[in-house]
Chain A
Amino acid sequence: MEIMMSIATGVLFMVGTYLILSRSLLRIILGTSLITHGVHLLLLTMSRLKTGAAPLLGQEAAAYTDPLPQALILTSIVINFGVTSFFFVLAYRAYQELGTDNMEELRGGDDE
């Protein structure tokens, strides 16, 4: 199972990297989201995907899954949600002000 998840993570990283290297700003933001998904899956995978009950003591199971990575992922998800929404609004503002979403046109010297 870990092998499958590793491959899935790898594909997410690959597609995310490809999108980040493209010209359109929206595709770049999409790429960062995919990479973030990949990272979260990786966190989940790295704690070993053993079968066990959900980490709720009420379940009274013999074995539970590791609760720590789930807490880490939850933290990372909300942080990334905050950053991504900020990034989207920034992209919107930049589109309004600069009139382009093409990264090639967003470079150059300090002339405005």
Chain B
Amino acid sequence: MSNIIIMPLLIPLFTAILLVFFQKQAAVQRWIGGISVLGNIAMSAYIVHQVYLEGILTLNLSGWLAPYGIVFVSDMFAALLVLTTNIVGAACLFFAYRTIGKEKEKYYFYPFFHFLLVGVIGSFLTGDIFNLFVCFEVMLISSYALIVLGGTKRQLRESIKYILINIFSSALFVASVAYLYGTVGTLNLAHLSERVAEAGQGGMLTIISVLFLIVFGLKAGLLLFFWLPGSYSVPATAVTALFGGLLTKVGVYAIVRLFTLVFYHDQGITHVLIGGLAAVTMILGVIGAVAYKDVNRILIYNIIAGIGFIVFGVAIANTSALEGTIFYLIHDMVVKALLFLLGGTLIAVAGTEQLREMGGLIKRYPLLGWLFFVAAMALVGVPPLSGFIGKLLIVRGGLEDGWYWISGIGLASSLLMLYSMMKIFMSAFWGEEKSGVQPKVSVKGLLAPSVCLTVLVIFLGVGAEWVYPYVSMAAEVLAEPQQYIQAVLKE
């Protein structure tokens, strides 16, 4: 029993509640919120260390033993994702200080921001499928508020679609939980895993697993991403960066968790299906990224391609691929947030989203240009940077298990991602300055969070030796669900 693992959830929760009382005092909100995220980074780093020393930590709420009460589980995978979430959250929060504007600050921007973190962190830590649903809703309701905050026409129009699709997928989520409960009679993930293993994953359970795949596919933008490009192009930059870094990744996390812990018995159907979906997602994602000449759209379609790549790692499901998945997931959260922050800064200095109206910005903004270059290289996976190791491990896992076609698609999609990113870099930063470009705007304060994330991206790549033991430990638990079950049910 260690109460410490629920702290990353409680810190933003109480911060958010506290911030509601300081509606008018933006400065107070900033100070409290800033201290809280930094404290939470320290706390979650400490938990990663504890998990590294002691193995999986669990907490039975109110002392009710595992299958009967709600249990919070912090294995290495969840602990690493919580740490990454807090880092990404902090970067977006500090970016928001300078960009979000007085109006939104007064209308509860910061409380919504922290409630979103509560939902994301709760989803990572929970060990109960209905509690996962509740955490998803906490996250989604905050995201509804953040996406529509400001109330421009575009925001209203796109948030209607976003909310509609999420209400529908949440209803499907509850329906899937109902079927699962009707079939095996439990909600605790570890207990579910045990019962599904006992019952043998027959046709009924496979159908339920596919239903869950549809639900989380809708949330994560796996093939069913039609809602994503419109919704992610309307909110403020800091919010888009937060969404791009965190929201879809929670869906990915749920897919990883369910298909490594509970539904891993009939891989011939489920995992092949996941692999196919991942391949199509990668293809459609890069097609979108290549097609547009609009900074935001290109980055959004790169999210989709990235999701396809991560989920491909889940489909392969051997140790190397799972390590790659975890590595790539962490890298992707950081690098997508970084790219959106840089993209937002780029749009702010150029005064337009259209690439053909930009040009020659490297003379005025050399730091922004080179940061963007490094981030783009990291996204694609050029060796010294963070994207490389994840991609290498996933592709190696794919080749070991004979997924040649999809591995090829993954590599080809990296090439097209590179093309789409270089398209932004070359047309925005190189060439002649366009007449429409404004006089120099100061970006020093805006770039500080991006610099921190860039350092982290470089560290994840160069310092992979230090990160690898943690990732390897996380993959071990995913590869052998028995460890998770024993830690939760204490048999």
The answer to whether A39 and B182 touch across the interface, beta carbons within 8 angstroms, is no
Residue of B nearest to A16 (CB): B171
Seen from chain B, the residues whose Cβ lies within 8 Å of a Cβ on chain A are 130, 133-134, 137, 141, 144-145, 148, 151-154, 156-157, 159-161, 163-164, 167-168, 170-171, 174-175, 177-179, 181-182, 187, 233
- Asked if A4 is an interface residue, CB under 8 A from chain B, the answer is no
The answer to whether A42 and B175 touch across the interface, beta carbons within 8 angstroms, is yes
B485 CB to nearest A CB, Å: 21
The answer to whether B153 and A112 touch across the interface, beta carbons within 8 angstroms, is yes
The answer to whether A75 and B130 touch across the interface, beta carbons within 8 angstroms, is yes
A23 CB to nearest B CB, Å: 13
Given contacts A32-B171, A98-B157, A106-B157, A87 and B163 within 8 Å (CB-CB)? yes
Complex-state Cα separation, A39 to B181, whole angstroms: 13
Contacts of A91 in B (CB 8 A): 160
A sample of 16 inter-chain contacts (CB < 8 A) reads A20-B168, A25-B160, A28-B164, A32-B167, A36-B167, A46-B179, A46-B182, A48-B182, A79-B170, A83-B167, A86-B163, A90-B148, A93-B151, A94-B160, A97-B151, A97-B153
Contacts of B130 in A (CB 8 A): 72, 75
Contacts of B159 in A (CB 8 A): 90
A:77-111 near B, CB below 8 Å: 79-80, 82-84, 86-87, 90-91, 93-94, 97-98, 106-107, 110
B311 CB to nearest A CB, Å: 26
Complex-state Cα separation, A40 to B178, whole angstroms: 9
Given contacts A76-B174, A86-B141, A47 and B160 within 8 Å (CB-CB)? no
Contacts of B151 in A (CB 8 A): 93, 97
Residue of B nearest to A75 (CB): B134
- Asked if A69 is an interface residue, CB under 8 A from chain B, the answer is yes
Complex-state Cα separation, A106 to B290, whole angstroms: 26
Interface size classification for chain A:
35 or more
Seen from chain A, the residues whose Cβ lies within 8 Å of a Cβ on chain B are 20, 25, 28, 32, 35-36, 38-40, 42-43, 45-48, 68-69, 72, 75-76, 79-80, 82-84, 86-87, 90-91, 93-94, 97-98, 106-107, 110, 112
Contacts of A75 in B (CB 8 A): 130, 134
The answer to whether B153 and A69 touch across the interface, beta carbons within 8 angstroms, is no
> What are the nearest 7 A-B pairs in CB distance?
A46-B182, A43-B178, A46-B178, A94-B156, A39-B174, A42-B178, A112-B153
Q: List 14 other contacts, CB 8 Å, given A46-B181, A90-B160, A110-B154.
A: A25-B160, A32-B171, A39-B178, A42-B174, A42-B179, A45-B178, A46-B179, A76-B133, A83-B137, A86-B141, A87-B164, A97-B153, A106-B160, A112-B153
Residue of B nearest to A87 (CB): B163
The answer to whether B153 and A98 touch across the interface, beta carbons within 8 angstroms, is yes
Complex-state Cα separation, A41 to B163, whole angstroms: 23
The answer to whether B134 and A86 touch across the interface, beta carbons within 8 angstroms, is no
Residue of A nearest to B144 (CB): A86
